[in-house]
C-alpha cells in the first residue's frame, strides 16, 4: 500500500473567531491510501492546542509502514489528527474493496440526516446579534464565547434568534467564578449546553459546582482513556474524530461514554465534507450534533455533504465510505 499526504486549504466564507484567535481559511491534510487499484482517503485538521502542526502530523503519517491496518495503527500512533486521517482512509479503502458502505462493515444501521448546530464565531454583541438574526431559521445555534464580558453577547444572540436552541462553547475561556455567575443567566436565556467552560487543566473546579445547564467536556475528552478524569465534572462528552484518532475510536468512545451515563455530543474542527463524513456515522442518537464545518467554508470537496432542513445527511459513496 502506498501512503500519500497532501495539504489542502479551503477559504472560509467569513472570518472565524474563538477565544484563542481568528482564521480566514481551513488548513487540512488529506491522506490517500493506494492499494490494488483502489484509493481510500481521509482528512484531518492538525490543531495547535494539542501541539500539532501540518509538518508534525505529515511526518507521523509518512513514517507509517505500507502494511498498516486499523488494528496495527493503534500501536503506532496516539489519538490525534494523524491517526484520524489514516483510520478514516482505511475504512474508506476497505469499503471500496468490499463493495459495501462503511456502516455495513462496522455493523451499524444505515445513518440518516441529523440536525446540526450552526456556529456563530466570537464578535461584538451587535455583530453577533446580526449573525443570529441571519441564521434564526436554524433550529440549533452554537455561540463561541470565552471572555469575561460574555453576557451582552448572550443577550444579543437570544434577541436575534428568539426561537433557536442555543448551546455555548467557551473554549476554556472562563473561570469557575465566571461560570457560576453566568449559570443563572444561561438558564434564563434557554441555553441547552455549555462546552468546556474551564481550561482542561483546571477543570477539577467543576467538582461539586452546581451545573443547572449540562456541561460538556471537549478539550478535556479525547478518547476512552479520558473518561475516568471526567467523573463529577461533566454531563456530556464531545466526540471529535481529530481527538479520538479516527472513526474506530470515536465509535468506541461514544459507546463507552453512554455506558458510563454521559450524554454524547459529536463535534468537529473546521474542515471539509471529507472530515465530517465519517462523523455522521457517530452522530446517530447523539444529544447534540455539531458537524457544520462545511457550512463555514466558501469552497468544499466534490460531492460534498448535503445540508437541508432535515440536517446533515450521510455521505454519498463518491465522497467517502
- pLDDT for 156 equals 96
% of the chain at pLDDT higher than 70: 100
106 Cβ contact list (under 8 Å, min separation 6): 91, 247, 251, 281
pLDDT at 164 over 80: yes
Same domain, 122 and 99: no
Say what the pLDDT of residue 148 is: 79
Q: Given this model, what pLDDT does residue 260 score?
A: 98
Write down the catalytic residue from 96, 142, 144, 233.
144
Determine whether 27 is an active site residue. no
- Asked if 195 and 285 sit in the same domain, the reply is yes
pLDDT tens string 218-266 = 999 999 999 999 999 999 999 999 999 999 999 999 999 999 999 999 9
Domain span including residue 289: 118-312
For 48-75, give one letter per residue: b (16+ CB within 10 A) or e.
eeeebebeebbebbeebeeebebeebbe
Q: Which residues are annotated as a binding site?
A: 169, 195, 218
CATH code for the domain of 36: 3.30.390.10
- Residue 245 pLDDT: 98
Indicate if 284 belongs to the active site: no
Mean of all residue pLDDT scores within the chain: 95
Given 96, 142, 233, 240, which residue is catalytic? Answer: 240
Give the pLDDT of residue 21: 77
Confidence at 20, pLDDT banded by 50, 70, 90: confident
Q: Which of 60, 76, 106 delimits the end of a domain?
A: 106
The per-residue pLDDT for range 98-140, each reduced to its tens digit, is 999 999 999 999 999 999 999 998 899 999 999 999 999 999 9
Coil/strand/helix, residue 277: helix
- The pTM of this model reads 0.95
Per-residue pLDDT, 35? 97
Residue 111 lies in a domain: no
pLDDT in tens, 57-66: 999 999 999 9
Residue stretches of the annotated binding site for Mg(2+): 169, 195, 218
* Residues 75-82, mean pLDDT to the nearest whole number: 97
- Which residue in 112, 107, 123, 163 sits closest to 140, CA to CA? 163
Q: Is residue 305 part of a domain?
A: yes
Amino acid at each position: 500500500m502506498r501512503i500519500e499526504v497532501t495539504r489542502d486549504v479551503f477559504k472560509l466564507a467569513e472570518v472565524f473567531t474563538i477565544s484563542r484567535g481568528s482564521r480566514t481559511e481551513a488548513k487540512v491534510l488529506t491522506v490517500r491510501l493506494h492499494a490494488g487499484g483502489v484509493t481510500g482517503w481521509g482528512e484531518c485538521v492538525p490543531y495547535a492546542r494539542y501541539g500539532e502542526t501540518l509538518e508534525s502530523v505529515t511526518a507521523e503519517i509518512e513514517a507509517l509502514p505500507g502494511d498498516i491496518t486499523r488494528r496495527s495503527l493503534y500501536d503506532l500512533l496516539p489519538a490525534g489528527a494523524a491517526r484520524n486521517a489514516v483510520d478514516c482512509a482505511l475504512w474508506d479503502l476497505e469499503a471500496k474493496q468490499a463493495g459495501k458502505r462503511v456502516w455495513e462493515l462496522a455493523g451499524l444501521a444505515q445513518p440518516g440526516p441529523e440536525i446540526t448546530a450552526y456556529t456563530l464565531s466570537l464578535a461584538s454583541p451587535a455583530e453577533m446579534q446580526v449573525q443570529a438574526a441571519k441564521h434564526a431559521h436554524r433550529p440549533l445555534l452554537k455561540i463561541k464565547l470565552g471572555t469575561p464580558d460574555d453576557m451582552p453577547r448572550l443577550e444579543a444572540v437570544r434577541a436575534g434568534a428568539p426561537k433557536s436552541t442555543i448551546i455555548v462553547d467557551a473554549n476554556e475561556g472562563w473561570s469557575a467564578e465566571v461560570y457560576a455567575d453566568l449559570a443563572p443567566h444561561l438558564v434564563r436565556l434557554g441555553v441547552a449546553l455549555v462546552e468546556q467552560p474551564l481550561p482542561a487543566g483546571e477543570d477539577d473546579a467543576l467538582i461539586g459546582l452546581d451545573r443547572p445547564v449540562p456541561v460538556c467536556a471537549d478539550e478535556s475528552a479525547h478518547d476512552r482513556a479520558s473518561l475516568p478524569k471526567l467523573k463529577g465534572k461533566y454531563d456530556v462528552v464531545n466526540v471529535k474524530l481529530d481527538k479520538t484518532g479516527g472513526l474506530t475510536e470515536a465509535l468506541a468512545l461514544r459507546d463507552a461514554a453512554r455506558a458510563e451515563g454521559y450524554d454524547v455530543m459529536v463535534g468537529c474542527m473546521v474542515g471539509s465534507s471529507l472530515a465530517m463524513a465519517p462523523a455522521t456515522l457517530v452522530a446517530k442518537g447523539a444529544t447534540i450534533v455539531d458537524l457544520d464545518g462545511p457550512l463555514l467554508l466558501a469552497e468544499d470537496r466534490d460531492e460534498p455533504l448535503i445540508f437541508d432542513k432535515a440536517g446533515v445527511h450521510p455521505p454519498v459513496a463518491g465522497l467517502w465510505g
